[in-house]
């Protein structure tokens, strides 16, 4: 498969939620029960004001990666969970005027060829907000390396989400995200 054959563009993720969760299940690891729960959560997220999604598509139109996010709202569940952790470190201001990356996943067979980077820079380039925040499992994963390379830094660590077995880190970056070889400023 030639990398150039994969295109990144806006997608109607609500219409493709099963396809997206199949990608997430392979990339991130989700049980059937978790997929069923996520189904409703993704559809609810996508109804929030300003929520949008981008996908990586094969020439046949198969979804092999996706990202979605939205302007942060302090009343959203995610924001209420991370707020005390950010406040403890003096970073609660990051919850205002910030674009949240809610999910980013690339099918394992298509990882390592720039799609994750293209998806997150494409969606954040559409944001009017001056910064972006997200949470990632608090370990040295490919995701954390990608986020750091884009200018995200740790705002809080060992963040506990109810029902999540592993602790998360909350990261934030100024927008536009840093490009390879550039400062992003």
Ligand X SMILES: CC(C)(COP(=O)(O)OP(=O)(O)OC[C@H]1O[C@@H](n2cnc3c(N)ncnc32)[C@H](O)[C@@H]1OP(=O)(O)O)[C@@H](O)C(=O)NCCC(=O)NCCS
Q: Which residues of the shown chain bind ligand X in the complex (CB under 6 A)?
A: 27-28, 104-106, 111-117, 136, 141-143, 145-146, 149
* Residue whose CB is less far from ligand X, 51 or 101: 101
The residue among 95 and 150 lying less far from ligand X, judged by its C-beta, is 150
Q: From the CB of 90, what's the least distance to ligand X, in Å?
A: 24
Q: Please, what is the minimum distance in Å from the beta carbon of residue 165 to ligand X?
A: 15
CA angle 147, 139, 154 (to 5 degrees): 50
When the beta carbons of 54 and 90 are compared against ligand X, the nearer one is 54
Cβ–Cβ under 8 Å, residues 175 and 152: no
Q: Which is nearer to ligand X, 112 or 184 (CB)?
A: 112
Closest approach of ligand X to the CB of residue 25, in Å: 10
Please say whether the beta carbons of 101 and 131 come within 8 A: no
Quote the least distance from Cβ 146 to ligand X, whole Å: 3
Pick the closer one to ligand X by CB: 28 or 161.
28
Please check whether residue 41 is in contact with residue 71, taking contact to mean a CB–CB distance below 8 angstroms: no
Specify the DSSP class assigned to residue 1.
-
Please tell me the distance from the alpha carbon of residue 15 to that of residue 185, in angstroms, as a whole number: 36
Least CB distance to ligand X at residue 30 (A): 10
SS3 75: coil
Q: Which residue has its beta carbon closest to ligand X?
A: 116
Name the token pair of 105: 């996943």
Two structure tokens written together for 60? 């046949």
- Contact 74/98 with Cβ under 8 angstroms? no
CB atoms under 10 Å from CB of 64, counted, come to 22
């Amino acid at each position: 498969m030639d990398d150039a054959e994969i295109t990144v563009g806006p997608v109607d993720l609500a219409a493709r939620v099963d396809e997206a969760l199949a990608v997430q299940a392979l990339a991130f690891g989700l049980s059937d029960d978790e997929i069923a729960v996520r189904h409703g959560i993704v559809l609810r997220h996508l109804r929030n004001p300003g929520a949008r999604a981008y996908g990586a598509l094969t020439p046949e139109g198969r979804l092999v990666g996706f990202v979605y996010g939205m302007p942060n709202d302090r009343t959203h569940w995610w924001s209420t969970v991370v707020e005390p952790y950010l406040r403890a470190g003096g970073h609660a201001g990051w919850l205002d005027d910030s674009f949240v990356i809610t999910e980013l996943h690339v099918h394992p067979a298509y990882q390592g060829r720039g799609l994750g980077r293209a998806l997150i820079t494409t969606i954040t380039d559409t944001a009017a907000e001056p910064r972006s925040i997200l949470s990632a499992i608090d370990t040295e994963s490919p995701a954390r390396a990608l986020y750091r390379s884009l200018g995200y830094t740790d705002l809080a660590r060992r963040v506990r989400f109810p029902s999540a077995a592993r602790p998360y880190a909350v990261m934030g970056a100024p927008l536009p995200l840093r490009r390879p070889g550039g400062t992003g400023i």
